[in-house]
Amino acid sequence: MSSLSRDEVANLARLARIEMSDEELVSLASEFTVILEAVARVQEVASADVAPTSHPLPLRNVFRPDVTTPSLTPEEALSGAPASEEQRFRVPQILGEEA
Amino acid sequence: MIRSSASEMASALAQGEITSVALTQLHLDRIASVDKDVHAFLHIDTEGALEQASAVDAKRAKGEKLSPLAGVPLALKDVLAQKGVPTTCGSKILEGWRPPYDSTVVAKLKKNDIVILGKTNMDEFAMGSSTENSAYGPTHNPWDLSRIPGGSGGGSAASLAAFEAPLAIGTDTGGSIRQPAAVTGTVGVKPTYGGVSRYGLVAFSSSLDQAGPCARTVLDTALLHEAIAGHDAKDATSINAPVPQVVAAAKSGDVKGMKIGVVKELNGDGYQPGVRARFEESLELLAKAGAEIVEVSCPNFEYALAAYYLIAPSECSSNLARFDAMRYGLRVGDVNGASAEEVMNLTREVGFGREVKRRIILGTYALSSGYYDAYYGSAQKVRTLITQDFTAAFTKADVLVSPTCPTTAFKIGEKSNDPLAMYLNDIATIPVNMAGIGGMSLPSGLADEDGLPVGFQIMSPVMKDERMYSVGAALEAALLSKWGAPILSKVPALGGRV
């Protein structure tokens, strides 16, 4: 029943922004057939009358006073950056050159 | 001295029998002599540790009032941010990253003058049950170096069993504190979800992750628990209530009249004979100590593993999206006008290991349109059913108990190519995380067939963490008088001096 093809895994890898070799896609697809069969068991008891739980605590919004508190300096915030320039993170191009 | 408990070390420090600098140096020497075999540590912060130790010695000399564990060394799982100290989560994607801030757990350790020796090895982003998924190589179990120390917190547990540290911090998403404790003969506690702040704990599965204390005795674990617990405004899911009285409970160890519920579904087939024998023996000792043993049934636990392997991957696929090569961590392929998306794809290919990729893809699938209800949605419903099973069981018993895991430590490499067999290690620990309750593992002896440690799990209701410490202390005392010496006195000598 539940199985994934190589192309389906390739699409998921694209959505998850992970480059994958053909070999990796094929082996993941075969592993997923086994894993999905095991996890699909949740459907046996998940009937419509059961409410879902997303979190163990019954929390709603948690508020704090809207006041300024000390935070990182620009140097600290940029200390782990792969590249920075003029107190900013330098990133690869996001829009095409033509844009 | 390194074989003493943390409480004994704290009392020697208070009596002026040893300084924190000397105690810290003893542990650094021990690490230098045995860690090439054990590989519990990814980073040893010699300078920082000695600096902290010397500061606490100075405070003591001035007669300042100090916390109960002041000056005692600790090993920190490499998933918690410590300012200026490398924090990798066992992943190449964070190699060389030095956080610009302290996690709340680290801030509390520092405030309590607990000396941080270094960062311990773990399965990459805490995904695993053997520490084999670390990008920096596996940790070896001090009981048998060819075996796994459990995971994901294998480094923290191994450091305790190898006498490299008397205290350690772990994190537990599906058993990552308790299962390593079980297979190394040490004690580990997953507090109630929200009992210890998650601020600065690198997120794997936010609704399940919980940091907690690890040590060689129940009392040491309680003292560390009290030091790191409490409400934190920086974590919106932190519980704003007094910390359970865990130290008092560990000191009294009184179980007279307590009802201890044996979970029928967490025993039997699939559990190694030696694991079952040690479990039965512990139940008898608890009964002798005055507890009443009852059986409870939690029929939906059999679906917990399946639900966990949907919920945790789903949350991780979202949480790990932050590793995008833009603001910190690894960046690969940023050449010749490559786009941000190409750089992300290449960085995540190189930076993440196999299990992390497997779970991100599985989570992406479980959350994708058309499959959401069948997978993630159904898993959330199972989570409700498991919580209801616990609620019902806790009307019949004050705590619930089971073996911590089905087997003793297996060989390194034995299960690494079979994800499902690996996932089964967590079958008895996962329900606790699903419901957000507390769980402890403590040693219940050695399995006859292989001479390896077996863990006994105690589960307590939300914010009733003190109950597992009462039961744990009672069982520990009964076992100690039976054995005549702590279980770790049987750990084989490691390469170096003892």
Distance from CA of A47 to the nearest CA of B (A): 8
Residue B327 to residue A89, Cβ atoms within 8 A: yes
Partner A, chain B 219-238, Cβ-Cβ below 8 Å = 233, 236-237
Q: How confident is the model at residue A91 (pLDDT cuts 50, 70, 90)?
A: very high
Residues B405 and B428 sit within 8 Å (Cβ to Cβ) = yes
Which residue matches tokens 């419509």? A48
- Structural domain that includes position A20: 6-44
- B318 φ, ψ (degrees, to nearest 5): -80, -50
Per-domain residue ranges of chain B: 6-301+383-490
Q: Which residues contact B226 (CB under 8 A, 6 or more apart)?
A: B68, B243, B246, B247
The answer to whether residue A16 sits within a structural domain is yes
> What pLDDT does A57 receive?
87
What is the CA angle B303-B269-B422, rounded to 5?
A: 60
Q: How far apart are CA A12 and CA A4, in angstroms?
A: 10
Do the Cβ atoms of B99 and A94 come within 8 Å?
A: no
pLDDT given for residue B158 in this prediction = 98
Pairing state between β B115-120 and B187-190:
unpaired
Q: Which residues pair with B439 in a beta bridge?
A: B190, B459
Do B303 and A13 lie within an 8 Å CB cutoff?
Answer: no
Of B337, B378, B462, the CB nearest to A43: B378
Residue B199 touches chain A, beta carbons under 8 Å: no
Give the chain A residue nearest B194 (alpha carbons).
A57
Distance of CA B378 to the CA centre of its chain: 28
Note whether B139 and B155 are within 8 A (CB): yes
In a domain, A97, yes or no: no
The rounded distance, in Å, linking the Cα atoms of B187 and B437 is 17
CATH classification code of B6-301+383-490: 3.90.1300.10
Domain membership flag for residue A96: no
pLDDT of residue A2: 67
Centre a 10 Å sphere on the Cβ of residue B329 and count the other Cβ atoms it contains: 22
Which residues, in sequence order, are bridge partners of residue B240? Answer: none
Q: What is the pLDDT of residue A98?
A: 55
pLDDT tens digits along A58-68 = 878 888 889 99
Q: Which residues of B are catalytic?
A: 77, 152, 176
How high is the mean pLDDT of chain A?
A: 91
Tell me whether residues A56 and B329 touch, CB distance under 8 A: no
Does A80 touch chain B if contact means CB atoms closer than 8 Å? Answer: yes
pLDDT of res. B498 = 41
pLDDT at A59: 79
Task: Report the side by side order of strands in the sheet with B399-403.
Answer: B41-44, B115-120, B73-77, B167-171, B211-215, B187-190, B438-446, B453-460, B399-403, B259-263, B292-296
- What ipTM was predicted for this assembly? 0.94
Specify if A81 maps to a domain.
Answer: no
Whether the CB-CB separation of B348 and A24 falls below 8 Å is answered with: no
Query: Which residue ranges in chain B fall short of pLDDT 70?
Result: 495-498
Using the beta-carbon criterion (under 8 Å), do B340 and A19 form an inter-chain contact?
Answer: no
The answer to whether B374 contacts A51, with C-beta atoms less than 8 Å apart, is: no
Distance between terminal CA atoms of chain A? 45
Mention every residue, 6+ apart, whose C-beta is less than 8 A from residue B484.
none
Which of B85, B332, B365 to mutate to test binding with chain A, by most A CBs within 10 Å of its CB? B365
Inform me whether the pLDDT recorded for A1 exceeds 60.
no
Given 3-state DSSP classes, what are the helix, strand and coil percentages for chain B, each rounded to the nearest 5?
45, 15, 40
* Predicted confidence (pLDDT) per residue in B267-307, tens digit: 988 899 999 999 999 999 999 999 999 999 999 999 999 99
Give CA–CA dist B414/A45, Å, rounded: 33
Residue A40 within any structural domain of the chain: yes
Find residues 3-62 of chain A whose CB sits inside 8 Å of chain B.
4, 9, 12-13, 15-20, 24, 28, 31-32, 34-35, 38-47, 50-57, 59, 62
Count of structural domains within chain A = 1
Q: Which residues of B touch A43 (CB under 8 A)?
A: 374, 378
Kindly give the pairing relationship between strand B73-77 and strand B167-171: parallel
What residues pair up with B455 in beta bridges, in sequence order?
B443
Tokens 């499902």, located at residue: B420
